[in-house]
Structures are given as structure tokens and as C-alpha cells.
Structure 1
Amino acid sequence: MKIIKLDAINSTNSFLKELCRDYALENFTIAVTNEQTNGRGQQSNTWESEPFKNLTASIFITELHLDIINIKYLSFTASLAVYDLLSDYNIPNISIKWPNDIMSANKKLCGILVDNRIKNQEINSCIVGFGLNVNQEKFPEYLDNATSLTNLTNLNYNLDDLLTALVSKMENRIQQLTLKDFIKLEEDYLDVLYRIETPSLFKDKNGVLFMGIIKGISDFGNLLVELEGEIIAEFGIKEISFV
């Protein structure tokens, strides 16, 4: 494990992507920064973070040899690693909101971005970026669903200790992935999936509201929702959101 500490960077994921173009990075090379100026989220979203307050880091992982058809298990792996970490710290009401946001009750604690390197229908390496709200107490008004570990527990946390613990949890879950223990990964993921088997109000990409019940994840990583008449519909990222 090699840790690269940066004072400020636009994005730790982007930094590692550029670095691995020029160098053969060792497995579990980590980039961590005090300030991320242009953090990236899913589907070109941005991730905002107060400097020196939160854990903003990315991990380069190689030698995966994961068939592209099993890509959803990599997302499960990353989100479960954070779930495992927060469970050890006794953070309350933790769940995973599909595909890989980490929630406490209805508030977002952590965003995860996975960048894959695919060759010959196989994922050999990836970069997993984590933006975990830790000691930040106030958030912009438009982030009204955000919270932090400090807000939840009234404690302050050492960011280096959290990173070390997170890497350990990620190593454990990656071992499951490389051993192709897909059944256990999916069981663990569904056990803590946000609002699974709970009637919920959704909005589709056209703004239409509808009721549904999350039933699971498809083979392609899409969300399976039971609609009226016991019809199971499949939704991709940005095709559905909670209301």
C-alpha cells in the first residue's frame, strides 16, 4: 500500500487516472487530499467538501480479472466497505442507497465513484473514490440532505485513522470479489439496501411520480422496482429518483 498525500487537487480519481497512464502503480495505491476542488460523483455530478474536514480519497485496485458481466459486484464491494467501516464506528441508521451512496436514515454521508479500466470484456483494474463527510458541521442549503459523522455523534474524528480503517475494510471486501463470492456480496448488499421492500414514492426521468417497492438489483446492476399490478420494472442510473 502506497499513500500519496496532496494538499489540494481537482479530483483524487482524476489524479490517479492520469498517474496510472504514465506509471505502473502498485495495488492499493491511495491518493488522499485535504481539499478537493472539483470532486466528481456519479453521472458527471460534483461532490463538494469543506477543506480539512472530510475524507476525500481514491484507491487504485488492480489484478481484479472481473468479467464485465459481473460489474455490479464491484459497486457492491465499494459500498459495503464503507458500510462495514461505519458499522464499526457505531454510526446510526446506516444503509446503502442504490447504487452506492451511504446514508444515515434519510441523510447522505458518503458518495462513491468507481472508474473501471476494461479490456477484452474484463475489468482488470479500477479506481474507487470516496467522499465521506466526517467533521464538517454545516452544508450549503442546496445540500439539505447531507450530514456528517460529527453531526450524528457530536464527536470529532481523525481522518488518517478513518482512511486506514477504510482501506482494511476495502481489502477484505476485494478479497471476496476476487474469490468470486458473489452470492455473499449480493446478500450483504440487499440486507442493507435503502428502502428495500418498502413502499416508496419515485420520480422517473420525465418527472412522472409513481409508487413502487424496491425488490432488488438486476444482473446489469439496475434497480428492480415492483409497480402496480405486481409488474417488475428495471431502471438505470438517472432514470429514477426518490421523492
Structure 2
Amino acid sequence: MNIIKLDATPSTNDYLKALLTKQFVENFTVVTTENQTLGRGQMGAVWEVETGKNLTFSVLVKDVLPDINTIFHLNVLVAVCLTEVLEELKIPNIAIKWPNDILADNKKIAGILIENSLKSGGEIVSVVGIGLNVNQKNFDGLPKAGSLFGIVNREFDKDAILISIVETLKRSVALLQNKDYGLFWEKYNQRLFKKGLPMPFEDKDGLRFMGIIQGVTANGKLEVLLEDDSIKTFEIKEIQMLY
């Protein structure tokens, strides 16, 4: 396993993408840092972590997705891989909050940011960024954030978790290459946060409404059953769950 360890960098995703422009990079190469100064999540949201306490890393995944219509399959696979590793660590009440947050006891403990690029030959190259709160104890001003330590009150070996995640990802990607999508989607939907439960939402215009999550479409849109019995799909950042 090729692991590049950095003391600090603005973004592991950006570092890995820049490396790709300069040289050949082996599939599943990992870039990890103790201090990511400009980490970001979906749609530019900021991902801040305490130096040295958590896992912040990116993984190169290529030669997996056959076309741009299958991009969200990789999101599903990565989210499921994370939950499986966390369940092996005996972290309770794991859930996937659409589209790419991982929760434990209703606290966000991990986020995923996948950036895809289409090469001239049609190849899709993906940089999978993962932030996992491991041993951080304080989340002042972040009431919905948590860590593995905060959930089970013990410290973890970050390097061991990193290797476990990447090895699980490699095994799962082999199945994805065989177009065996169904198993990952089944697990994703089983773990989908608040699926089937009435809950309040807020749209991008600030309008609040009640709905019931039905699932997620193949291209990553959230399906919500509304009070008039219609089902509407929402893009990322078009809707916010109020929980």
C-alpha cells in the first residue's frame, strides 16, 4: 500500500490531484495528513479537525467506473465501506446521512468528498477524500459533531483504522468492477438515516415541510414522500434535514 504522509497540507484531495498531473500514480495511493488547513466537504462546506487527533486522507481510485452515469455508485460503495469498518470497531448506531455523512448516535463522525475527472480516453479517475473524527474530544460550537472517542470513550489507533478502510475499499472496488452494484445499494439503503420516518425538512428557499425519505436514486438524488402523497427528488444542497 502506497501511503504518502504529510505533516500539513491545505487539502489532501488537492495534493493528490496535483500529483496526478506530474507523474504516474499507483491505484489506491493514499495521501494522509495530520493537519488539513483548508479541508472541505460537499459543495464547499468546511471540514475542520483538531491536529493529530483524526484521520484526514484521500485515496486514488481509477479503472472502476465505466461511465459518468455510474459515478454515484462509488459514493455508495465508499459510504458502505466506512460503516462496515466502524461496525467492526463496535461503534454503535451507525447511519449514512444522505449523501455522504456518516453518523453514530446522531453525531456526524465522518464525511466523504469524491472528486471525479474524465480523461480524454473516457477513463474516470476519482479522488476519494475522507475525514473521520477519531480521538478528538472537544467540538465546541459544533453540537452535531462527534468522534469515535466521544461515542465509546476510548482512544483508537488511527493508522490501523486507515489501513482497514483502504483494504476494505480495495476489496469492494473489485466487486464494483464486476458491476455488482446491488449489494452496496442494499446496504446503503439499510443504513440510510431516517429512512421511512416522518421528519421536517427545509428547502434552499427556507421553506419548511414534512416528508418521509423513501430512498436515493441511482444518480444520487434523495427521494422524499411529501404530505400530498407525491414523491419529489432533491439534488445535494436543495434540501436540508432538520434533526
Match of 1:235, as an amino acid?
F
Structure 1 residues 89 and 212: CA distance shift in structure 2, 3 A: same
Task: Give the superposition deviation at 1:121.
Answer: 9.6
**Once superposed, what is the RMSD of the aligned Cα atoms?**
1.3
Shift, 1:220, TM fit:
2.0
State the match for 1:130 in structure 2. Answer: 130
1:189-204 map, 5 Å: 189-204=188-203
Matches of 1:173 and 1:206 in 2, distance apart?
39
1:131-151 deviations in Å (ceiling 9; x for gaps): 10000000131x210000001
Q: Which runs of 5+ in 1 are unaligned?
A: none
Deviation at 1:120, TM superposition (A): 6.5
Pairwise CA distance, 1:176: 2.0
How much does 1:106 deviate?
1.6
- TM value normalised by structure 1: 0.96
Match of 1:13 in 2: 13
Aligned counterpart, 2:49: 49
Contact 1:62 1:125 in 2 (8 A): yes
- Equivalent position amino acid for 1:128 in 2: V
Instruction: Return closer, same or farther for 1:180/1:70 CA change in 2, 3 Å cut-off.
Output: same
Whole-angstrom CA distance in 2 between matches of 1:181 and 1:65: 12
- CA pair 83-12 structure 1, distance change in 2 beyond 3 A: same
State the partner residue of 1:66. Answer: 66
Q: 1:63: how far off?
A: 1.3
2:173 is matched with: 174
In structure 2, relative to structure 1, the CA distance for the partners of 1:123 and 1:110 (3 Å cut) is farther
Query: How far did residue 122 of structure 1 move?
Result: 4.9
Worse-matched range after superposition: 125-134 or 213-222: 213-222
2:99 equivalent in structure 1: 99
Question: Runs of 4+ in structure 1 displaced over 3 angstroms?
Answer: 119-123
Q: How many residue pairs end up in the alignment?
A: 242
Between the aligned partners of 1:39 and 1:84, the Cα distance in structure 2 is 24
Distance 1:4 1:121 in 2: 28
1:113 pairs with 2:99: no
Letter in structure 2 aligned against 1:94: I
Judge conservation of contact 1:68–1:123 (CA < 8 Å) in 2.
no
| 1:90 maps to 2:102 | no
Q: Is it true that 1:187 corresponds to 2:163 in the alignment?
A: no
Q: Distance in 2 between matches of 1:47 and 1:120?
A: 32
Letter in 1 for 2:214: K
- Does 2:220 align with 1:239? no
SS in 2 for 1:40: coil
* 1:34 CA drift (Å): 0.8
Paired residue type of 1:7: D
Q: Report if aligned partners of 2:68, 2:124 keep a CA contact under 8 Å in 1.
A: no
Q: Percent identity?
A: 42
* Equivalent position amino acid for 2:63 in 1: E
* Contact 1:80–1:173 (Cα < 8 Å) also in 2: no
Residues 65 and 71 in structure 2, CA contact (< 8 A), matched pair in contact too: no
- Deviation of 1:113 after TM superposition, in Å, equals 0.5
Aligned to 1:205: 204
Q: Could you say if the C-alpha distance between residues 218 and 115 of structure 1 is closer, same or farther in structure 2, counting changes exceeding 3 Å?
A: same
Distance in structure 1 (CA, Å) of the matches to 2:2 and 2:183: 29
Name the TM-score, length of structure 2 as normaliser.
0.96
